[in-house]
Amino acid sequence: MKNAKKEVALITGASHGIGLELTRKMLTEGWQVIALIRSNFPKDAPLIKENLERKQLREYRADLVDFSSLKKTLNDIKAKEERVDILFNNAGGSFPELKFSKQNREMHYELQTIVPYIIFMELRPTLLKGTYKTVINTSSAALLALRQFNPESLAHPPVFKKLLGPYAASKLALSLWTQELASQEEIKSMGIKLYSVDPGGNNTMRKEKKSGIPFYLKPIIKLFFPHPSKGATRLYEIAMNRDQKPSGHFFVKGKSAPLKFTEHKSGILAKVRSIYEQEFYK
């Protein structure tokens, strides 16, 4: 492990999959890590245990799709943490069926589109105290396969389809508002850089958890998809090379990729901003 740094990374979904591997990587590089999680870290993880004891890794618990739980935890973070240099909005996943949050919105949309915006807005003052002022939103190349996109149906989809339904649509909406927000003069003047990044296909399946992965893909994932450390490295590399990457862009395999349906990006940002202001910030 390298010498401890003063820089701090906040990682959502840090206890499993790509988030866990990203946490391990940041700790190994000497970073301080704030883990915003719902479930426990693995018990058989010496690096995690050691850094929790040293306070190099600090965990905060919340159900991200329950606004009352999220607000309480974010207030706790703001009260206890002096700075955040990089915000990794990584929490997410695919669900096997249509589910709705306590706020009565489709779960993928709530978790993967709206919540990352809320976390950014709430932690923006803390982010401005850091050196990097960088936001990495975990997206997905699945959005490139979408043939149609209706922003009005994000909260209550008329039909459900695994992977290329609400999951891909919510990731597209995330990347669209990321691009739109990054282009605004207020954000530019603050020196904040935002990116949406596809971590690529990774074997993040867990036996105890049902997912929205189509059955025919599961054996392919088990046999051919890389360890989630691969995806963690892709997120890490964009964050570390932020000065060489144009803010707002969507990255696939480390290269900027064009987004579809960009005519909707201002509307998507306006919608998530409205939800934040009317339901969370009030």
pLDDT in tens, 103-160: 999 999 999 999 999 999 999 999 999 999 999 999 999 999 999 999 999 999 999 9
Q: Which CATH superfamily is domain 8-280 in?
A: NAD(P)-binding Rossmann-like Domain (3.40.50.720)
pLDDT class of 223 with cuts at 50, 70, 90 = low
Cα(first)–Cα(last) distance of the chain, in Å?
43
Q: What is the pLDDT of residues 28-60, one digit of tens each?
A: 999 999 999 999 999 989 999 999 999 999 999
d(CA 262, CA 276): 22
Kindly tell me if the per-residue pLDDT of 1 is higher than 70. Answer: no
Question: In this predicted model, what pLDDT tens digit does every residue of 203-216 receive, in sequence order?
Answer: 454 555 566 555 55
* Confidence check: pLDDT of 225 > 60: no
d(CA 72, CA 204): 29
In one-letter notation, the amino acid at residue 186 is: E
Q: Residues near 127 by Cβ (< 8 Å), separated by ≥ 6? A: 83, 84, 85, 87, 120, 133, 135, 192
Question: What pLDDT score does 244 carry?
Answer: 87
| Residue 254 DSSP SS3 | coil
Of 277, 234, 278, 259, nearest in space to 183 by CA: 259
Q: What pLDDT is attached to residue 203?
A: 45
Rounded distance between C-alpha atoms, residue 137 and residue 158, angstroms? 27
Q: What is the structure's pLDDT at 59? A: 97
Is the pLDDT at 265 greater than 60, yes or no? Answer: yes
Residue 200: per-residue pLDDT: 78
